Homo-oligomer: A and B are copies of this chain.
Amino acid sequence: MENLFSLAADNLVSPIILSFVLGVAASLARSDLSIPEAAAKALSIYLLFAIGFKGGVSVAAHGIDARLGLALLAGIILSAALPLVAFALLRLMTAMSRLDAAAVAAHYGSISIVTFVAATSVLESRGIAAEGYMVAVAAAMEAPAILSALWLVARGGGGDSKGMDGALMREIMLNGSIVLLVGAFLIGWATGEEGLAEISSFIVSPFKGVLCLFLLDMGLVAGRGLRQGGGILTPSVLAFGVLMPLIGAAAGLATALALGLTPGGVTLMMVLSASASYIAVPAAMRVALPEANPSLYLTLSLGVTFPFNLTLGIPLYVAVAQALTGG
């Protein structure tokens, strides 16, 4: 536990976390500091490309085994199942409508790639190795949660939902971040260490610095959301935003232990299960469940669960993963 606290404290004074804090503070203080939309998108493209590529290179180096397939499958199942838990919890704990609860639940089944990236960089600085293919697991976990949520809505009287049509399905499966992540993963895999050597001074060395600026931007956006939508954060909603990642992490932990992943892999599976989407799922919800309240899911995901995972969650997951794997 001492380990845990020192890890958390270390984590908290890293430039990455403090950049996020700066963004939130600037937003709450109503500074006009902002990162242009195009620059924010460019940063996210960089991060997805880099993390995907490095994952692929690591797979090229260590080869793949049967576990890759199992991990992918496990990820898909987690992504599809966690929204059911989240939905039940929301209906139990809060006064949310079925529709809103389903929309929020979709976010918690899916994943946040920046949380994953932040965890990767903590693992790296601690020298803890992880399976490179966890990037592919991350990609696989993006979409299934959406289907579960739409099923929840349809079951409760489809009148509210446009349901899923072919166009939406294609949009979800081929949304930019999945395609870039998987594409970069495949490129990294194909070109291996040699490919990495060519571009490592672009995708490895400046990585953490870019992550700082990206987290600054996320802080700014999260702060704006809290300022405008903070009213929806009743105590029970807030409690959900902290409890659900812990439940997700526990599910991820059990799965990862069953699969026999490395300590790093266990951590990442916990992080993926604990994190909530804020890119792909919100866009899908606007199309499929336009009547659900976006403040609810965006504020919860970006304003509560993301900072929780970033500051306390990740060090906790690392500590637990290490303790339970003896890593």
Name A's B-contacting residues (CB within 8 A): 13-15, 18-19, 22, 25-26, 29-39, 41-42, 45-46, 49, 53, 125, 170-171, 174-177, 179-180, 183-184, 186-188, 190-191, 195, 198-199, 201-203, 205-210, 212-213, 216
Contact = CB atoms under 8 A, between A and B. Distances in A.
A213 B199 CA distance: 11
Contact of A199 (B26, B188, B208): B208
Contact of A39 (B13, B39, B177): B39
A212 B183 contact: no
B26 A36 contact: no
A184 B13 CA distance: 13
Contacts of A209: 198-199, 201-203
A53 B19 CA distance: 11
Contacts of A13: 190-191, 195
A33 B49 CA distance: 12
Contact of A174 (B30, B36, B179, B188): B30
Assembly stoichiometry (copies): 3
Nearest to A48: B33
A175 B36 contact: no
* 10 A-B pairs closest in CB distance: A202-B209, A33-B176, A36-B38, A201-B205, A38-B38, A39-B42, A199-B209, A202-B206, A31-B174, A22-B183
A13 B191 CA distance: 6
Contacts of A15: 53, 187-188, 191, 195, 198-199
B208 A205 contact: no
Contacts of A46: 213
A15 B49 CA distance: 11
Contacts of A22: 179-180, 183-184, 186-187
B179 A14 contact: no
